Amino acid sequence: MADHHRVYGPETDPAGDSGYPADHPARKGFFTDTSICIGCKACEVACKQWNGLPDDGFDLLGMSYDNTGALGASTWRHVAFIEQPAPPPAPVELGMPGMGPPGAETGAEGREQFRWLMSSDVCKHCTHAGCLDVCPTGALFRTEFGTVVVQPDICNGCGYCVSGCPYGVIQRREDDGRAWKCTLCYDRLKDGQEPACAHACPTESIQFGDLDELRERAAARVEQLHEQGVAEARLYGADPDDGVGGNGAFFLLLDEPEVYGFPPDPVVPTRDLPRMWKFAGLAAAALGVVAAAVFGGQG
């Protein structure tokens, strides 16, 4: 890449642009296909176990089968569970009313007018990562796999990354003072193994691999679902031209992103950094001029 350390815009090789030699491994990521997620939470458990994460307490959130709630310092996979009215099915010729129990004539599919959406959320490992850009200690860094990882021995808990993330992923652990998030199992990757969550997923809803290949696979899967009549299937975070340069971990969703707790149009805050410094420069210059001018008058 001619233009190093881009903060916004197309970026095909984040690891290379971070200084890794050209023979660094291909960029790794997750494709989470929520259309085949069964909400079993094996990913949450595997992640906790492999990474030795503390428990979050046993809160019952009282909203759905999701009692985890959100990603956080000690929750690096979070399975969202949504019950909602199902999209209206395609019109079907019902024929004459029959004598059987309700729904018997229409088949099992037609009986219920709601559906369940399940989706395993994770750190997006953005191409342009807000957390990484703002970290003042270098604790957050880009790995050779193109992922974004916190070094716990460096982090001083300044909390900037927490507000830098447009997805609300990274969080400071209260009793420990440092920021934590998914590492895409950096230790396992270095050993040639797949991350614990993908390894545990029984339906291959969580797919791990080279990002380029995952994007192709995801595009084919969306096409397949559209052919099968699932018109609402769409990818989230797969587009390298989006506001964060595409996610290393992206999703196939069956509804709008905000229904799953994702921001609908995330943008890395760094995009506006030059503009923000420009306004700060104007304000600073004005202060300097005024401070000089106030000594010009009488008295």
Among 50, 65, 160, 186, binds other proteins (CB under 8 A): 160
Nearer to other proteins, 248 or 269 (CB): 269
Return the closest-CA partner of residue 131 out of 185, 167, 176: 167
Among 69, 105, 186, 209, binds other proteins (CB under 8 A): 69
Shortest reach from residue 52's CB to other proteins, in Å = 18
Shortest reach from residue 181's CB to other proteins, in Å = 10
d(CA 67, CA 80) in angstroms, rounded, equals: 9
Nearer to other proteins, 110 or 138 (CB): 138
Name residues contacting other proteins, limited to 132-151 (CB under 8 A): 133-139
d(CA 41, CA 43) in angstroms, rounded, equals: 5
Name residues contacting other proteins, limited to 251-280 (CB under 8 A): 256, 258-267, 269-270, 272-273, 275-277, 279-280
Nearer to other proteins, 36 or 70 (CB): 70
d(CA 232, CA 124) in angstroms, rounded, equals: 22
Shortest reach from residue 252's CB to other proteins, in Å = 17
d(CA 111, CA 296) in angstroms, rounded, equals: 83
Shortest reach from residue 48's CB to other proteins, in Å = 15
Shortest reach from residue 159's CB to other proteins, in Å = 3
Nearer to other proteins, 56 or 105 (CB): 56
* DSSP 8-state class, residue 54: P
Name residues contacting other proteins, limited to 202-241 (CB under 8 A): 240-241
Residue range at the interface with other proteins (CB under 8 A); choices 25-33, 43-51, 92-100, 242-250: 242-250
Name residues contacting other proteins, limited to 70-99 (CB under 8 A): 70, 72, 80, 82-85
Contact 148, 138 (CB under 8 A): no
Triad 100, 103, 105: Cα angle to 5°: 60
Nearer to other proteins, 25 or 168 (CB): 168
Among 1, 94, 219, 284, binds other proteins (CB under 8 A): 284
| Sequence-distant contacts of 170-176: CB under 8 A, at least 24 apart | 170/73, 170/123, 170/131, 171/71, 171/72, 171/73, 172/73, 173/54, 173/73, 173/74, 174/73, 176/73
| 25 exposure class (CB count in 10 Å sphere: 0-12, 13-18, 19+) | middle
Contact between 37 and other proteins (CB under 8 A)?
Answer: no
Triad 253, 256, 258: Cα angle to 5°: 110
Contact between 245 and other proteins (CB under 8 A)?
Answer: yes
CA 37, 164, 74, 83 dihedral sign is: negative
Among 1, 19, 49, 63, binds other proteins (CB under 8 A): 63
Nearer to other proteins, 250 or 260 (CB): 260
Shortest reach from residue 234's CB to other proteins, in Å = 11
Contact between 163 and other proteins (CB under 8 A)?
Answer: yes
Contact 120, 36 (CB under 8 A): no
Contact 85, 114 (CB under 8 A): yes
